[in-house]
Structure 1
Amino acid sequence: MRLRTVAAALCGGLLGLVMASTGAMATQDESRRSAESTGDPASIITIGDSVMLGAKWVLKKDGIGVVDALKNRQASTAPSLLRKRGASLPANVVIHLGTNGTFTAENCSDIIDAAGPTRRVFFLTISVPRKWEATNNTVIRNCVASQPGRAFVIDWNAAAAQHPKWVYSDGTHLRPAGAKGYSRMIEQAVAAAS
């Protein structure tokens, strides 16, 4: 008789534990969804090149969930990076590519498609003294205009022109003050779209 009572108590306790942990998991899921919809920095993934790499320390300090930046990265690599992450992609995808070469309309639409239909995609314009700067920025703006509510422009080109001390003498890479301004622009754009 005593053994049955102990077994029943254990089963009851186990059931309570499962119910409590399920409730906790539901609460965590609700918190995550709420954070994503409010533009919480943890709901952001950033993919970029050496410009973003120069701001990685600030982006991480500011709580950006994932910073995937690599020197000399091309725009054509972004869709596969997004697809690899699949369902684990957060609600907000920030792209800063085109500094190292052409950024085509196909690159842009492939990035948006790879992000998936439920995610917002933010494209930073580029600031680089190269022949492709104006063309890439036009492509980015036109692509975003064709995807209202889903794609957004963060005008880094205008910010860098307005704050020349934010970049080094190469006109491209970020000084510490530029890294802070860059991170702030990303956070503000995501919050405004949320």
Structure 2
Amino acid sequence: MIMKKQSMVGLFFSMFLRATVIILAIVIVVFGVVFISKVMKKDDGKSKTPATTSSPNVLTEAEGHDSLLYADPSDTTEYITASDTQEEVVEPIMSYDAKILVLNSTDEIGLAGKWCETLGGFGYNNTSASDYYTPQEYTRVISTSPDIGQDLVQYFNGASYEVGTVTTGSSESTDGYDIVIIIGIADGGM
């Protein structure tokens, strides 16, 4: 048997081709294993059919009454639907969009600005900071409308809520603001 001598370039490409085929085979096997394991994990042992029950205690919707539930069709009990109730639930109006002026009535420098940042963290982003010249023991939340501002009282210690305007004592005009918050000593020390 006579062997043909290969050149160095031919030998290199021959080995390169074999190595490429082996690497591709390994990659295909790895991807196949990963794919199969993903498919098996997604199944998670859950059945594709919905769960059913034959228990007589299960509540079901009554025919023709979307909001009426019953347990036994022969039951003669009168049921009250959501539309039959007279009580009206009043949701508090949040003041997120209100223009708010925060006034510092304490000796602590920058307190109003810190409260603006804190309120911004709760979603009240339209805030400005200034000073108030008459010291206050507790924070006052003053709104121009009875519909807004009550939600802000919860963030302060012993704060009061009132409807009105602040005309004096501020280093900035309160005109154009929906809510003015005068920070009291009880809410200092941030």
TM-score by length of 1: 0.23
Higher helix residue share: 1
Structure possessing the higher radius of gyration over alpha carbons = 2
Higher strand residue share: 2
TM-score by length of 2: 0.24
